[in-house]
Amino acid sequence: MYPFLLIVHQILSWLVLLAAGWAIFRSVRGMLLGKQWFTADKQAGLFLVVLTDLQVLAGLLLYLFYSPMTRIVFSDISNAMTEPSLRFYAVEHILVMLIALVLVHVGRIKARNAQFAARKHRISALFYTIATVLILSRIPWERILILSKF
């Protein structure tokens, strides 16, 4: 189950980044060009939220039940905190990704509740961009690049 979930988690990470790029593009475009808030803008945010939720669900399953890395960490947490790679997966990766998840949800809700299109675009651009930067900062790129060779 672990290898399957890890592959799903990696595929979803690329889909989240693509969806984030699309949602940010639509928001920035709408903001700069003074566009109305179209159904496609709303759908871009919804698609980003759904993919991010699925990504976090897969990550939580790995973290809580299937990852050998977290088993090592939980067996000796104080020692694991001194090892940068273990600390990355045990604390940094999951914490920052959960913050990004919250930002995506808050951005979508605040944009949906905003009264004017310009504000909707500005809010979604801001929240989705910050969430994406956080996601990019905590993706274990070396692992993705290694697994992509297979």
User: Which two structure tokens, joined as six digits, stand for 33?
Assistant: 């060009």
For the chain, what is the largest distance between any 2 Cα atoms, rounded to a whole number of angstroms? 54
CB 137 within 8 A of CB 6: no
15-60: pLDDT as tens digits: 999 999 999 999 999 999 999 999 999 999 999 999 999 999 999 9
Q: Could you tell me the residue ranges of all domains in the chain?
A: 2-147
Query: Residue 131: CB partners within 8 Å, gap ≥ 6?
Result: 20, 52, 100, 101, 103, 104, 107
pTM for this model (two decimals): 0.90
45 closest CA partner among 130, 111, 108, 103: 108
72-93: pLDDT as tens digits: 888 888 888 898 888 898 899 9
